[in-house]
Structure formats: C-alpha cells, structure tokens
Structure 1
Amino acid sequence: MSAQVLSVPSPTAHHLAKAAGAPALARSINEAAAQVIEQDPSRFGALAHLPLPDVDAALTEIAHALDVLPLDGVILATNYGGNYLGEPALDPVLAELDRRHATVLLHPTAPACFAQTGLGHPAPLIEFVFDVARTVTHLIYTGTMARYPHLKIIVPHAGGAIPALAWRISAFAAQPALTPGADLTSAAVSAHLRRLYYDLALGANPHSLSTLLETADPRHLLYGSDHPFSPEPLITANARGLHAYPGITDSARRLIEYDNALPLFPRLAARLA
C-alpha cells in the first residue's frame, strides 16, 4: 500500500467528551493526525474530525484543519444524536464544505432508536448499513445534495444498504404522493447515487459488488480497509474478494486500489508525486 488516509470515525468527540470538551478533543485528534503526516508525508493523509453537533465549533475546526493543518478533508457521522446530515441545523457545515469543494467521508453510527431496533445485537451488524442508507436518502430527498454539488462524498462499506435499495429510492421520486415536498425525478435520484463515491471496506464480495456496480460509477469506487475496527481475517478476506471478483478487470482494480482516490485528496496526491 503506497499511502493511507487516516480518520477517527466513531465514537465521536461529542460522544466521548460531551459538549463542553468536544472542541478541544477534536482539535487534539486533528493535531495528532497532522503530526503523523509531518513524520511521513508520502505515506499518510488524514481527515478532520469535527465537534458536531456544535455547528460553530465545527466551522472553526474546518478552518483550522484545512487552512492551518495539512488535512485532506473531513469525516462526518451519519447522525449526531439523531440529528442527521440533511437536517437544517447542520446545513451551515455542509455549505462551508461545499464552498471548499471538500472531500467528505461518511461513517455510520447507531440510530437514536438503537435501544429498540438493535434487538441486543451490536450496531455494526446491520444498523450501520441501514444508517448509511438512511443518511444518503435524506441528503437526496431534502435537496441537500442538489444544493451542494461540489461536495465529494464517500459512502463506506460498498454503500451499505444503498445498492439493494437504489431502485426503490429512485422509484419513489416518481410518486409525489409518497414523498411530499421532494422535488425530484427518478433519474435525478439515480444521478445523485452515481455521483457519490463508495469505499469497499467489508464490501468486496459478490453480494455487494454485483449490486453496487449497477448503481455506482466504476471510477468512484475506492479501496477501504476498516482497519483497526475490523478484525484482520475480515480485512484479508475483503482484499482477496476484490481480487477474486470476476466482474472487475485488473485495470479497474488498479483504479479502485489507487488512481480513483487521487483526485479526492490533492494534497496527498501532490506529496506522492
């Protein structure tokens, strides 16, 4: 592996330090990431952690991370205590990231109703993939993706449940009675889904790839490891799955493993060059 883009996804700073301590913890995370880059600039990039749902503190941290520090974008949770991306309260953050043409990695977290829906199972088992789909659908149906066309959003885990639900999400746009207030067409929804980037962490398997390749632009597929949260055997199996899948050629695999990511991380790409 030539380089890695690091991030601290979950739990969030707000969850760990509560509201009063979240800005300081996010700053500490981002400063530590900058030190890693400084020590080995041709091997590492990093995404900024934001102290959301504190919007003002998040805007301050965006400026520090992307203007003062050499970070390569931001990572956002799918929801913050039930506040989902696409809600008006979080709009200033997405507007600022759009102004900067920023790269944004989504990372799933448990929904606010997890105590009822989890049924005693760990959140990553199924809730994570559904929260990814919930967030992306909300971004589309609230018009957020249309308002912010310069965001480069990376969806994790081969899109979670999105590929399996893509037809349904698109088809509902043609039924205004089912989606009141959403000024969308099926074609527009499909275009939004195709505009997204998708990493293949825990998704390089025939079940996920077959549906994802019908939804996504192949030039928008990226390698993801999910290290260190996923056990090594799962990471190894995922890497082998990418190489074994017959629907991806060797040249396409090269794009997924390296070239597709370079335009998303221009600072890291410049250092690699």
Structure 2
Amino acid sequence: MSAPLVIDVHAHVLTEEMMRLMRNEAPDIGPTLSEVDAEGGVLKVGEIVQRPFPRGGWDLDRRIADLDFAGIDMQVLSVCPQTFLYDRDAALTGALAAIQNEAIAGLVRHRPKRFLGIGTVALQDPRRAADELRRAVLELGLGGIQIGSHVEGKNLDDPALEPLWATAAELDAFILVHPQKAAAGNRTGAFYLKNLIGNPLETTIAATSLVFAGVLERYPDLRICFVHGGGFLPYQTGRMIHGWKERPECRLHLKESPEVSIRRLYFDTLTHYGPALRYLTDTFGHDRVLLGSDYPFDMGTLECVRQVRAAGLPDVERDAILGGTAAGFFGVGGRAPSARHAHA
C-alpha cells in the first residue's frame, strides 16, 4: 500500500515574474528585491519591508529542494501577506490579486505533482472579493483563497463580508486566514514580539470574531483554517465557553455554545511544540488539523513533517494530518473534491 501524499497547506510564494507583473500594474507599490545573496534578500512592497525574504520565496528550484528535504510531496501555494494591500484602492488591489492568482494557477499547471494553489482577493470590497473567489475556483482551478485577519481594523465579523462567506460555502472553498498588521504594535516592538505574540494574537481575534458573530452557525460547513496552530484560541476555548454562559454580549449573535463553532474550525500544525500539537489533535480531532510549514519565512519550519511523525499519533491520525484531509479538500491523490467543487 502506497504512503499517502504529504501536503503542506500553509506556504507563500512571490516569484520574480509575479513581482515584475505587479510592478507593471502598480509601479509605486509593486514588489522589489534588493540585497540578494545565496540565501535570500530584502522584499519591499510599497512601504512594507520584509527582511529577510528567503530565496525559496521566489526561487522554485530552491523551493523544490527544500520540499524534498522536508519530506513534503505537495505544497498549497498562497501569496505573501505583504501583498494583501487592503489599505489601497480596491480596484488596484483587485488587479494585483488577479495577477497573483493567475500566476499561482500557472505554477500549479506547470508542476501539478508538487503544487496546489489558493488565491487572494481585495477584501476591502467584499463583493469584488466574492467575485474573484468564484473566478479563482471555477476558472483558474484554485482551491480557495487566503485572507488577512482583518481589513484595516475591521474584524472578520464585519457584516459587509457576508457575500464572501456565502460564496465560499457555495463553492466548498478552502479559506486560509493569515495574520497581518498585528494588534498592539506599539507594545511589541522589542524582542520580535510583533511576530512571536502579535501574529498569534491576530489569529485569535480573527477566529473569535467569526465564532461569536455566528458565521459558523450560519455556514457550518465552511472550511476555514487558522494558521500558527490557531493562535491562542484553542488553548482558551474554556474561557470562551464560560464567557458565553456568563455575559449577554457573548450571546448576542451566537445561539449555541462557542465550542460548537470552534470545533468547526481547522488549524495548522505550526505550533513548534509537540505537546501543543497533541493538545490540538486530542481536543479538536485529527481531522481538524492540517500540516503547515509557513514556508519560506524564518518563523516557519522545514521540520513540520518530522514533528508530526514524532508526536506519537496513531497511523490513521498522523496520515490525515500529513495530507489525507487536505487531499480530500483539493481532490488529489485519488480523492475526489466535493460535488459542488467538482463541476469546476
């Protein structure tokens, strides 16, 4: 019996061709690389500076070599969060999103045995975002989209986002939620706390906003995955349940205990800590946990597969986390996607 595919659902890409096309569309904010050496460079997107930007972010040969080292068969490509650009004109962000989505679809076509893909959208214009999600899935063949944790301070419970959730539910689209512009930035400047604490905090705010707004009650089959092990939410579920029982504002939009909605979420494996990974699987079920590397960034890891294998999980649970569940979502490895998605 052949081993199941190992699929990494949390990985970012921004090739030099993507950068060139984006600069042509928007010279003032199009991505640029500088200080390039054998290991990486400095990425600039408008005023956003990412240092370092590892070479695997744009060099596909390096990426494939790293995937082989990690033991990853397939990688779900998504954009770098530096290119979300929710603070720009929606038409411009939408045009840049379309460029990236078409490029990712091209990479998937070029290397179908190694890459899957999800797109990006102009989340500041939810109807435009819903339309691009539909195009990404039905025309480009992508599996869904990656979105940021907020839209310029508006949480994901914003009622204006309803068209996006409705479209995602209709298409059985996979949605990866990634932190950006982390909260408490004025207090997390030292010690790299903006990432160590800020990114998991962003994920937590995004997830709890969706839960308490009742989005998962309205759309119980949404496939929403929260990176970095779900931030702090999985480990504070008891606090959320207690708050819902005690505080009327927690019950404003939520008929059932928040635990019901939290158990409908998905989390990636990127906890960097075996006991935390075991907590996720023991508490929420192995079918709610997906392999994630956060490639190519330095807060990610190429040890993700080995970490899952070292967690001491039963074979069935291990294989589901490493790729079985994701294979079902994306329709690879002999697993068919859902009927609604398959007609694409």
Give me the TM-score of the superposition, normalised by structure 2. 0.70
Equivalent positions of 1:32-181 (< 5 A) are 32-111=103-182, 113-120=183-190, 121=192, 123-177=194-248, 179=250, 181=252
Structure number with greater CO (CA < 8 Å, separation at least 6) is 2
- Say yes or no: does 1:205 pair with 2:273: yes
Residues 66/183 of structure 1: CA separation in 2 closer, same or farther (3 Å cut): closer
Which string of whole-angstrom CA distances, capped at 9 and with x for unpartnered residues, describes residues 160-208 of structure 1? Answer: 111221111122111133525143343xx2222222111112x152342
Q: CA RMSD in A?
A: 2.4
Give me the TM-score of the superposition, normalised by structure 1. 0.87
Separation of aligned partners in 1, 2:333 and 2:309: 24
User: 1:104·1:152 contact (CA, 8 Å) conserved in 2?
Assistant: yes
- The amino acid that maps onto 1:190 is E
Per the alignment, residue 225 of structure 1 pairs with: 293
Which string of whole-angstrom CA distances, capped at 9 and with x for unpartnered residues, describes residues 81-122 of structure 1? Answer: 1122111121211111112221111111234x5433424445
Higher strand share: 2
Which string of whole-angstrom CA distances, capped at 9 and with x for unpartnered residues, describes residues 209-245 of structure 1? Answer: 24323431212211111101136xx514444332222
Identical positions, percent: 28
Q: Structure 1 residue 135: deviation in Å?
A: 1.1
Separation of aligned partners in 1, 2:303 and 2:227: 17
The one of 260, 265, 271 aligned to 2:330: 265
Helix, strand or coil at the partner of 1:4: strand
- The amino acid that maps onto 2:317 is A
Separation of aligned partners in 2, 1:146 and 1:271: 27
Residues 105/158 of structure 1: CA separation in 2 closer, same or farther (3 Å cut): same
Q: Structure 1 residue 148: deviation in Å?
A: 1.3
Gap regions ≥5 residues in structure 1 = none
Separation of aligned partners in 1, 2:142 and 2:220: 21
Per the alignment, residue 254 of structure 1 pairs with: 319
How many pairs were matched up? 265
Separation of aligned partners in 2, 1:40 and 1:20: 30
Q: Structure 1 residue 47: deviation in Å?
A: 0.4
Q: Structure 1 residue 57: deviation in Å?
A: 2.2
Helix, strand or coil at the partner of 1:230: coil
